[in-house]
Structure 1
Amino acid sequence: MFQHARRLFVAFGAAAAVAFASTAPPAYAQPVFQQLSTASQTKYAAIVVDAKTGEVLYAKRADAPRYPASITKVMTLYLTFEALAAGKIRLDDPVVISPRAAAQSPTKLGVPAGGTITVSEAMQALAIKSANDVAVAMAEKLGGTESRFAALMTLRAKELGMTNTHFANASGLPDSRQLSTARDIAILSRAVMRDYPQYYKLFSQREMTFRGQTLRNHNGLLHRMPGVDGLKTGFTNASGFNLAVSAVRDNRRLIAVVMGGPTTRARDDNAQSLLLTGFDVVRRRELGERITIAQNLFEPEPTGRVQGSTEQGDQDLKIVLASAAPAPRASRIEIVEPKSKKSAPAKAAEKWAVQVGAFKARSDAKEQIDLIEKRFGKQVAGAKPVTDKAAGRYRSRFVGLSEREAKTACKAIKAKGMACQVIEPSA
């Protein structure tokens, strides 16, 4: 059964690659998640996102809880980049390998307890080698203890809009409390690119040399797919094979997240297929075609809609193409929600709010406010847009809503694949 699923997964990737290369209409392939064994389907989740705009081009169980495994280290690196930018640490500072760090399970760098490496070496070891011992050592350097650092990771995740993520450790080693989603991983991937472009190139490094040893990057797509420049792989028995990957083609960057693949090869082939199909869809939409990724993958689309899974609490997605006339950039993908009753206007006494992002730069926070007002003006009508600073981040918020208005607004914003958090009135 396992080998059969693997062959089907690989065949799907090959079919999508052929479809992308052809100028004729693509030879559609059956969606892989329907061909997998029941066990593999239970773990599978995926999402494709436009890195610049955050638009969700495709989602399958994108909000279902999953074990992130070593993709966790992207957040460990994010906080490391943050400390570097704030001047709290330097690239040549020492990182001590404690006995606890040295005792971690592989994959690891293998420096004995009491040994040291530099912050620069630690960053490479996390991104390329996925070293669990280094993840703990860096967590202890930045947070004092790994548990305290994990709390900081979770806090930053919430501020970035990763509302369904909780970290219990810095490495991604098995822990039932360590949960995330494909959508949240995509949000984190965008945040790394946006906030720390000077360090993002680390994820594209194909190998590193450490004390005479050459260590190869675990991300196989770096070595075989043109345009791929990151990000991170992950695996535990509970999670299956995970991958967050980004690629650039024709000045357009896409992010794909695949979680729960049955094998390394199957995961990589599926992620490549999603990216290739995504780029093809973007190109064809710019030429005026009415097309979605799901259509390219030949998923069932009764009455023009693609029904997403609701497994494990995933929201019910109905993706529909809304375009009045064929013209460049005229097509867009919308998430259609069940209609609800109109909320009453917010009263002056109401102090509920929604937070739609937390950013390193005030300009980014203001840009997010403008974007939300433009796309969700009806939902935030009457609310006051605010950008304030807390914990070193500029928060984008709309205040002065009723509880119902806040929850309705966030539901609509999240349905478009964007971050939103309901903020209750303070006591």
Structure 2
Amino acid sequence: MVLRNIPLRCIASRFAAALVAIAMVLAASLIAPTPAHAYNPPYAAVVIDVKTGRTLHAENADATRFPASLTKVMTLYLVFEQLERGALRLDSPLRVSSRAAAEPPSKLGLRAGSTITVENAILALTTRSANDVATAIAENLGGSVDAFTREMTRTARALGMKRTTFRNAHGLPNREQVTTARDMAILAIAVQDRFPQYYHYFSRRNFAFNGTTHRNHNRLIGRVTGVDGIKTGFIRASGFNLMTNAKTNSRHIVTVVMGGRSGAHRDGIVERLVKNNLPHAFAGARQTPMMNAAGAVAFVPNVLPPARPADIGVPPAAFASASATGGPLDLASMRPAVAPERNAGNTATPASSGTLRQGAAAETAPEQSGGQVLSFAESTGSIPLPPADLGSRHVSREMAQGGEDAETVAPMQVASANAAAPLPPAATPAEPEPEPVAVSPWVVQIAAVDSKRAALEMLENARSRVGDPLSAAEPFTETVQTGGTTLHRARFSGFDSQGAARDACRQLERRGFACFASRS
């Protein structure tokens, strides 16, 4: 009855308007930008205790990933080798080719035919992450990018980075340029062991060049206690990467996170990993061999099964009989390569198989033909690619489009040690002797460290941060011998049941502490 009073023309007009509205909603849904959370690059992370080689945290640590600008740490590793040999000086000029000048951002914007000193090139990589400078380094040191990246890959394998292959010096997209979080951790340790005199460049917060100040992309330097480097990286296919070094007077870890959804997301993950793991790292004398100019074996972190969280301070000897995930890697099978015999007069650094030769003109850019070129000697045989397990959901489209390093925010001295006979630890004050504690039927443990004082400090810190759930608990330490090492278990007493102990552990874990409940 109602429809009879409404003109057909009015009904048609309203129906058409409704169709237009529906069409507009559908169109908006099709062209709306993808929400930020939809970007989900492949994730990987690892935390290594440098003193013991133990893996404190791992997630997809051995899965192949794209290194992005973490590549530049290896580029600088080869620069440091040549500085150490005397083949380069910090004030040596590097000539910029047209290829280098044409690299996409991040970059300094160098002109073809211009030069940049070695020291400024180092700072351009550690702060601005300059792609044009990375290519200039490769061409000047290697004679060509291809020759330089072959040397990068040979050096990686000599260090024990078994699943890493380099195809360029800056980390811009290349399907064959792959690595793993664990391999990048090995590089982070090697670069500071081998070149403590140059490591400080990774801690620089800014770099002034041609009237412009470039800020370091690593925002954790100065923000997170103990963090002093090392390098950020990003391409669309990799996500946001960060290689981080953190140390205190007695503890030392490296952390690598790959595949963050944003710079802030990545930084938050790394910050939590550092804060949760650095206090539990081994505080005694270093157990792993150091890279040094006299010769060294490749550093390969011990891949161990997940130990009880509170036993993180135990050195590798205590777990010699444990079955490792994937099996522990054999150090003896990874001796550093040596220089070819024809260059026997040159002193090769342990990690590199290549030596420099003068005047190599092959594949040299025209702008370089009039000057001296430092080139790595060619080696015979090709370097096989490691097995790849990268998902295809990001790779094809992003690699087809190319990519660029999007980190465009404006912008130790370590003594050599003999691994077989580590130096004794420095004398420490007498350990405190707390009052005896009546041990309850159930206890909770948050750590096992080599210092009673450190154990008691951790207990006090835990109780102050957790508050009421531990107000009635009594802290105490228990001394044990494990693998020839004396450890002090940091424990709380005062739990009559397993449930009560587990409840306390849950409160501790929410505040970042490792914890497990145990019958006394």
Q: CA deviation at 1:145?
A: 0.4
Give CA deviations for 1:155-175 in whole Å, capped at 9, x if unaligned. Answer: 000000000000000000000
C-alpha distance in 2, partners of 1:197/1:359? 22
Are residues 339 and 193 of structure 1, via their aligned partners in 2, closer, same or farther at CA, if it must alter by over 3 Å?
A: closer
- Corresponding position: 1:224 with 2:223: yes
C-alpha distance in 2, partners of 1:199/1:109? 22
C-alpha distance in 2, partners of 1:131/1:196? 21
Give 1:263-302 correspondences, 5 Å limit. 263-282=262-281
Q: CA deviation at 1:394?
A: 4.6
SS at match of 1:46: strand
The amino acid that maps onto 1:133 is D
SS at match of 1:320: coil
- Corresponding position: 1:336 with 2:355: no
Q: CA deviation at 1:247?
A: 1.0
**Structure with greater proportional helix content:** 1
Alignment match, 1:321: 308
Structure 1: which 5+ residue stretches go unaligned? 6-36, 287-315, 341-351, 361-388, 396-427
The amino acid that maps onto 1:215 is H
Alignment match, 2:447: none
Give 1:112-151 correspondences, 5 Å limit. 112-151=111-150
Give 1:163-242 correspondences, 5 Å limit. 163-242=162-241
Give 1:368-383 correspondences, 5 Å limit. none
Give CA deviations for 1:72-92 in whole Å, capped at 9, x if unaligned. Answer: 000000000000001111111
Alignment match, 1:14: none
Q: State whether residues 243 and 257 of structure 1, in contact with CA within 8 Å, keep that contact through their aligned partners in structure 2.
A: yes
Alignment match, 2:53: 54
Structure with bigger gyration radius: 2
> What is the identity percentage for the equivalent residue pairs of Structure 1 and Structure 2?
44
Q: CA deviation at 1:65?
A: 0.2
TM-score (norm 2): 0.51
C-alpha distance in 2, partners of 1:333/1:57? 14
The amino acid that maps onto 1:358 is P
Alignment match, 2:158: 159
Question: Which of 325, 333, 336 lines up with 1:355 in the alignment?
Answer: 333
Total equivalences in the alignment? 291
- Corresponding position: 1:392 with 2:370: no
Q: CA deviation at 1:55?
A: 1.8
Q: CA deviation at 1:4?
A: 7.7
Q: State whether residues 243 and 259 of structure 1, in contact with CA within 8 Å, keep that contact through their aligned partners in structure 2.
A: yes
C-alpha distance in 2, partners of 1:91/1:281? 39
Are residues 318 and 83 of structure 1, via their aligned partners in 2, closer, same or farther at CA, if it must alter by over 3 Å?
A: same
Q: State whether residues 246 and 278 of structure 2, in contact with CA within 8 Å, keep that contact through their aligned partners in structure 1.
A: no
Give 1:24-35 correspondences, 5 Å limit. none
Q: State whether residues 47 and 256 of structure 2, in contact with CA within 8 Å, keep that contact through their aligned partners in structure 1.
A: yes
C-alpha distance in 2, partners of 1:70/1:339? 28
The amino acid that maps onto 2:306 is I
TM-score (norm 1): 0.62
C-alpha distance in 2, partners of 1:321/1:83? 44
C-alpha distance in 2, partners of 1:243/1:205? 16
Q: CA deviation at 1:317?
A: 7.2
Q: State whether residues 61 and 180 of structure 2, in contact with CA within 8 Å, keep that contact through their aligned partners in structure 1.
A: yes
Give CA deviations for 1:64-111 in whole Å, capped at 9, x if unaligned. Answer: 000000000000000000000011111111011110000000000111
Q: CA deviation at 1:58?
A: 1.2
Alignment match, 1:21: none
SS at match of 1:358: coil
The amino acid that maps onto 1:321 is R
Q: State whether residues 76 and 170 of structure 1, in contact with CA within 8 Å, keep that contact through their aligned partners in structure 2.
A: yes
C-alpha distance in 1, partners of 2:252/2:69? 23
C-alpha distance in 1, partners of 2:262/2:253? 23
Q: CA deviation at 1:358?
A: 2.9
The amino acid that maps onto 1:66 is R
Q: CA deviation at 1:54?
A: 2.1
Give 1:11-26 correspondences, 5 Å limit. none
Q: State whether residues 320 and 333 of structure 1, in contact with CA within 8 Å, keep that contact through their aligned partners in structure 2.
A: no
Alignment RMSD (CA, Å): 3.2
Q: State whether residues 2 and 262 of structure 1, in contact with CA within 8 Å, keep that contact through their aligned partners in structure 2.
A: no
